[in-house]
Structure 1
Amino acid sequence: MSESFWGGMLLTVVVVQILVIWSIRRHRDPSLKIDCDAPIDQLMTSLSGLTLGTAVGGNKVEVHENGAFFDLLVARIGAARHSVHFETFLWKEGVLGGRVADALIERARAQVQVRVLLDAQGSKAAGKELVERMRNAGCRVTFFHKRALRNIGVLNDRDHRKLVVIDGKEAFTGGHCIVDEWLGNAEDGQHFADVSLHLRGPIVHSLQGAFSENWAGETGELFLGDDVFPELEPAGDVRIHAVFAKPENSAPTVKILHHTAICLARKRIWIQNPYFIPEPDAIDAFGAAVKRGVDVRVLMPSTSGSDNPMVQHAGHRNFEKLLKCGVRLFEYPHTLLHQKIMTVDSVWSAVGSSNFDDRSFETNDELSLSIADETLALRLDAIFERYVQRAREVDLERWMRRGSWHKLKDNAFYFLNELL
């Protein structure tokens, strides 16, 4: 047979293999529809059921911002008596990495069980010497989805969670990464802004389960007993459910949570997110919310404030449609705002690791907390208001007059938004 025939056959095989690999972890993407008039804070049982979890009361939640968060985190690691479980996407060699590693090493040498789960892509710059130092001290350090043939179908699936569970009794989650730019107080472009939560109460069991999911997937180890799953007494009065499941035959639960919350809003939706690239269904949901009289605002970094300007350009592609829908958009030019927060009607909040884009909603392993608590929502709204004072609101008429080169970059990077 001719060379062109065999060339065509080879090309066909390659294309089929690419499609198979691409589809291994693809999730269905249905057009989600909700018809309900009840207030969101009265629907926690429904929200948790839709997202394959259980809402639990009796929790205490504390908000911690910027570099001060690590003072508490390191102190609580140092107080661990039985176990420390540490999971993160981004860890880079530096002052902060050394500080956190030292705290984990000290506990491991004190015979505390220390398990560290790092994303193989996001934490590739953690430093071989530092990782070996942790391992030599007794820390069990594992990398999520390393580059290997057995992972070829899931290499684009990253562990984007930021989670620490101590003695099975307290937990931290939010947006903070183990990179030196997260130190300081967001005072300039070299010091980022972020928000994480410190949690006590029954919800900690759910977060321990989220850690176990990926730890067991990578190591095969199942951990049990009071050192990791102790009986938990109520610590407060906040009701929470954790959202992290990615069922193979449905939309990922993090996406379901955010879309449902948008559709339930009656007064306002305020979003703080570093990478805001909503899908068409979400844009339509925002537009419908505005028509219901909902005040919809989004605060994000500008290209000058972002650590990844390509993502901001990808988000720009949808600005015109969002603005025409009545959504108010604010760009912060001074530094990276990395907090991932959505509040609805000042009574409900979603806080966690999830960006508002296809990668987080469709591909990454994420963790978001759905929280019904007016005090917390108002605290998070106050953070929005503090940063928005120094942000620039995007004006529709001026935006439509932006240059051709800007528009070209917006459309080009949007085409790659699931890979950014």
Structure 2
Amino acid sequence: MSETFWMWLFFATVPLMLLAIWSIRRHRSPVLQVQSESGIADLMPSLSGLTLGSSVEGNSVEILENGQFYDVLEQRIRAAQKSVHFETFLWKPGELAKRLAAAFMDRAAAGVTVRIMLDAVGSKTMEQDMVDRLREAGCKVKFFHKRSLRSLGVLNDRDHRKICIVDGKEAFVGGHCITDDWLGNAEDHEHNSDVTVWMHGPIVHSIQGTFSENWAGETGELFVGDAFFPKLEKTGDISVFAAYAKPENSAPAVKILHHTVLCLARERIWIQNPYFIPKKEAIDALGAAVKRGVDVRVLMPSTSGSDSPMVQHAGHYHFERLLKNGVRLFEYPHTLLHQKVMTVDSCWSAVGSTNFDDRSFDTNDEITVGILDKGVTAKLDAIFEKYAQRANEIVIEEWHKRGIVRKVKANAAYLLNDLL
């Protein structure tokens, strides 16, 4: 056959292949017209059911901020007797990486089963020597969606979860990454702010199931027994559920959860998120909440505080519409606020790895836990207020005065928001 034929075949096939890859994870976005006569405190079964989980009672929840989290995490890993399961997106060489690696190797040497799941892109700078030493010590280390022909269709799908389960009895879920930028107490631009919840009780089985999903997907290995799923007694009176599933042809659980609660709030919605790029339907839902009398506030880093200024510029694209809808916006200029937190009506909160953007809602593997407890919510609201005191509130009159360069940056960055 002629070269012309093969050229035409190539140009006809490539677009079809790209279309096939693009369509692998497409789904219909939820229509935000949820109405209920009940308040969110009475809707835990509905929220957990919609997100393909179950609301579990009898848990205790502790909030860990900033560098304090790693002190607790390391201590609990070193106390493990049967198993440690750890999953994260970002692992970079440094003091923190050495500390955790030493804890993992110590437990593996003691006969504890240690499984470590790292995202292949987020942890690409991890030294091969470190990986080798972990494996030689007995740790099982796997990388999620390594670049290969086998994973061509899902290369954009990253494991963004940050979880750890110790002995199947306690679990950590939040936004902390394994890089030295997260050490300290968010005291300057070199030290990030973040939040993780430390949970005991029956909910730990759900977090263990979350880890199992990607571990089984990458290795085919399943694990059962008391070392991983022990009988769990009640440790408190807090109801919790985990949203993490990504069903075929339907919106991921984290997207349904975040969008649904916008429609249920009666008094307040306070959002803390480092990458806030809502779509039109979420913006409209936030505006409708304001019209219902809901106090809607969003706290995020400014471009000077962000580790990805382009994301903040993309977020600016919708600021005017949000402000016109009555949403109060606060930008923190001093460091990266990385916590992914949402509180509703002073009684319900969401904490996890999920950013308020398309990448988290539509593409990444994420986890968010929904927590019904006034005490936990009050502590998270106090974190909001602590940083909001030093943040700059965006006022629409001043926003209108911003220069043409900032407007161009926002429009240009938003064109790439699906990839950010």
Residue equivalent to 1:185: 185
Residue equivalent to 1:326: 326
The alpha-carbon deviation at position 243 of structure 1 amounts to 0.3
> Amino acid of the residue matched to residue 50 of structure 2?
L
Residue equivalent to 1:341: 341
**d(CA) in 1 for partners of 2:114 and 2:6?**
54
State the secondary structure of the residue aligned to 2:154: coil
TM-score by length of 1: 0.98
TM-score by length of 2: 0.98
The alpha-carbon deviation at position 8 of structure 1 amounts to 4.3
**d(CA) in 2 for partners of 1:217 and 1:133?**
24
Residue equivalent to 2:260: 260
The alpha-carbon deviation at position 26 of structure 1 amounts to 2.2
**d(CA) in 2 for partners of 1:80 and 1:96?**
19
For residues 3-402 of structure 1, the aligned pairs below 5 Å read 7-402=7-402
1:58, 1:237 within 8 Å by CA — same for their partners in 2?
A: yes
**d(CA) in 2 for partners of 1:409 and 1:17?**
32
State the secondary structure of the residue aligned to 2:36: coil
Can you list the C-alpha shifts for 1:110-143, whole angstroms capped at 9, x where unaligned? 0000000000000111211111111110000000
1:37, 1:264 within 8 Å by CA — same for their partners in 2?
A: no
Residue equivalent to 1:412: 412
**d(CA) in 2 for partners of 1:132 and 1:87?**
18
Identify if the C-alpha distance between structure 1 residues 12 and 114 changes in structure 2 by more than 3 Å, giving closer, same or farther.
Answer: same
The alpha-carbon deviation at position 3 of structure 1 amounts to 6.7
The alpha-carbon deviation at position 6 of structure 1 amounts to 5.3
Identify if the C-alpha distance between structure 1 residues 8 and 395 changes in structure 2 by more than 3 Å, giving closer, same or farther.
Answer: farther
Identity %: 66
**d(CA) in 1 for partners of 2:75 and 2:205?**
21
Instruction: Structure 1: state its 5+ residue gaps.
Output: none
**d(CA) in 1 for partners of 2:4 and 2:297?**
56
1:83, 1:166 within 8 Å by CA — same for their partners in 2?
A: yes
The alpha-carbon deviation at position 12 of structure 1 amounts to 2.2
**d(CA) in 2 for partners of 1:82 and 1:351?**
27
**d(CA) in 1 for partners of 2:409 and 2:3?**
40
> Amino acid of the residue matched to residue 212 of structure 2?
S
The alpha-carbon deviation at position 10 of structure 1 amounts to 2.3
> Amino acid of the residue matched to residue 41 of structure 2?
D
The alpha-carbon deviation at position 194 of structure 1 amounts to 0.4
The alpha-carbon deviation at position 406 of structure 1 amounts to 1.1
2:32, 2:285 within 8 Å by CA — same for their partners in 1?
A: no
Can you list the C-alpha shifts for 1:235-260, whole angstroms capped at 9, x where unaligned? 00000000000111211110111111
State the secondary structure of the residue aligned to 1:171: strand
Identify if the C-alpha distance between structure 1 residues 8 and 400 changes in structure 2 by more than 3 Å, giving closer, same or farther.
Answer: farther
Instruction: Structure 2: state its 5+ residue gaps.
Output: none
Can you list the C-alpha shifts for 1:59-78, whole angstroms capped at 9, x where unaligned? 00000100011010000000
Counting matched residue pairs gives: 420
**d(CA) in 2 for partners of 1:162 and 1:261?**
23
The alpha-carbon deviation at position 270 of structure 1 amounts to 0.2
**d(CA) in 2 for partners of 1:33 and 1:247?**
21
**d(CA) in 1 for partners of 2:3 and 2:221?**
51
**d(CA) in 2 for partners of 1:407 and 1:108?**
53
Can you list the C-alpha shifts for 1:250-308, whole angstroms capped at 9, x where unaligned? 11110111111110000000000000000110000000000000010000000000000
Can you list the C-alpha shifts for 1:353-412, whole angstroms capped at 9, x where unaligned? 000000000000000001110110011000000000000001112212211121111111
Runs of at least 4 residues off by over 6 Å? 1-5
**d(CA) in 1 for partners of 2:230 and 2:400?**
57
The alpha-carbon deviation at position 339 of structure 1 amounts to 0.3
Can you list the C-alpha shifts for 1:330-361, whole angstroms capped at 9, x where unaligned? 00000000000000011000100000000000
1:244, 1:253 within 8 Å by CA — same for their partners in 2?
A: yes
The alpha-carbon deviation at position 27 of structure 1 amounts to 2.5
Instruction: Give the alignment's Cα RMSD to 1 decimal.
Output: 1.1
Identify if the C-alpha distance between structure 1 residues 348 and 30 changes in structure 2 by more than 3 Å, giving closer, same or farther.
Answer: closer
